[in-house]
Amino acid sequence: MKTSLVTAILALVLAAPAWAEGDPETGEKVFRKCKACHMVGEGAKNRVGPVLNGVVGRPVASVEGFKYSGVLQEMAAADAVWTEEELAAFLASPRKYAKGTKMTFPGLRKDAEIADVIAYLATFD
């Protein structure tokens, strides 16, 4: 029993998502693709997209003063949260993840870029 528990824990640790290992500095560079619509940091304001300060772990569609698409409002009503896993799926293909989203960005193709952007965003509480 003890051995199987240890094996299960090790399997979970070794299978940790790639985005947990992202590089915030590289993510800052990748985030340039997002800057036309989103802001982060001190003094950030909503643009075409909402402010992304504190997005990692934040409830979906929860930035005050931003008008979200219906699909994101529905997700919010279902208590959805932007976990690293959910952000990774959204960043890979926003329109597939949330059919009907207003976000026109096609997504990030490389897992490493997704990991890096999430790591960068996580630096903004």
Residues of the chain with pLDDT under 70: 1-20
pLDDT-above-70 percentage for the chain: 84
pLDDT (tens digit, 9 = 90+) per residue, 79-89?
999 999 999 99
CA distances from 50 to 7, 10, 55, 108 (A): 42, 38, 10, 18
Domain ranges (residues) in the chain: 2-121
Express each pLDDT in 44-69 by its tens digit: 999 999 999 999 999 999 999 999 99
- Domain 2-121 sits in CATH at 1.10.760.10
